[in-house]
Structure 1
Amino acid sequence: MASFPTETHRFQSFDGVELAWTEMGPGNEGARPVVLIHGYFSTAEVNWIKYGHAAKLATKGLRVIMPDLRGHGQSAKPHDPASYPRDVLMQDGLALIAHLGLADYDLGGYSLGARTIVRMLANGAAPRRVVLAGMGLDGLTHTQGRGRYFHRVLTNLGSFERGTPEWLTEAFLKTTKGDPEALLRILDTFVDTPRDAIAAIAQPTLVVSGVEDFDNGQAHEVADLIPNGTYREIPGNHMSAVTRPELGDAIADFLAA
């Protein structure tokens, strides 16, 4: 696989909070842009670059744009509750699209990134194609389910028995050098998306999920609800599927078709 350099940029979102995004691609002006949004606790580097997914897209000639969500990675991590209004991640995503002047682009995300994309679609985003990975229907329509789990982890750090799901979640937090206070604030921003808004997604949409991933409900139900939805299973659970080469293969095949 060809090797592509990465370059990190920053901009001020709609409310002045500084956000970062990393780009990878062939470098030609005609490269088609795809915006990929990472999951909760993660970063663009961990979600998309580390395991080779972004490089597979760049090899297909795509300009890969990977923001770090507010409170994550290289983006600002304010602790002020005023910096975390409801649906702020959706607003940040739309602000990045506007900042880059993207008119013809694709949009993909994993877990919280997929949920953020659905919120963007419900609020006017108009990509040509969509990838929703690591997200089931319950995680879109009832966001507080997983939110309660993460709240418990973040408010009880250091207390979990080794090997438990909570312990593994905390271990992942440490690897990404996450800021617990900022990440707690992110939980306040979640907004449910009604089924009819999901059913209104008109774009060709790939829904891809680990065969053992039930953390956010059933992913195939999302694909069933979207008129032009396609469901694809890959090996793994919610934490391991993102490390599998099959994830990058599935996204690259879909977007390059």
Structure 2
Amino acid sequence: FTGKEKNVRFRIAKPDDYTRFFGGEDGVKAYLKELFGEIPTDENAGKYIYYPAYATAETEKAIAEAVKSGCIEGIYAENYSGAEFAKKYRTKLIFGTGANLTNVAATREMLQTEGLTAIVLSKEISAAEQQKIMRTAQKIAPGVAVSALDSGDIKTMDLCYCPFGKTCGACDKREFYTLTDEAGRAFPVRRYKDGPGECRFEIFNCANLVSGAPEGATPLIDCTCERDVAGTIALCGDEEEQKNKFKNYTYGHAKNSVL
């Protein structure tokens, strides 16, 4: 996503059910159309499927069906296994925030990855640290976009088990839930089905990020829990309007790194 012109550069869709990629060619294309339907269209924007942090062999097979359909450009991966997948299936790759690009040395190594189109810097380092890495990356691989999480949802945890401790028979199997702590803070929880059909979960921060990307980086906007995707994207670069929309917000680690 390029904030200045506000046109989408990469579109990343997160499937709620990876088993649907086993529905044959027509089923795959229909599901991809459904997934990307809410994301603003730009003819030059590449379509990428989210490759989850805990990807099983069956989940990889499911994503491979999406790649084989010819309807997507590549995958957005949180770890290095995504690089192996991209190499195996000759598809393009974006390294996400989970790749933990926190220093120049790690970034140099990642930039050697075959098929790489973009990297997203760690959300746990300061804007100053991000800019240092960004300058180095742009010299080493000028054709690779350097991005940083700018606004929207902040994922804090991936879970392989159910956080509610319920039996599957009693579950209403919604896509979104809420966990509340002792202070009354509400943390969105997203449920999805992996390749084998097992439930996996993502937990997001109680506050949304505003204006988190440093100058010069391609802003990444996480709309996982957002109903108004187009409206959220349109606010990129407008800090005050982002605050009005999210109400409960944070600047993340722009000023203070956690490292």
Q: Pick the TM interval, shorter chain.
A: 0.3 to 0.5
Alignment TM-score, normalising by the size of structure 2: 0.33
Bigger helix share:
1
Larger radius of gyration between Structure 1 and Structure 2: 2
Alignment TM-score, normalising by the size of structure 1: 0.33
Bigger strand share:
2
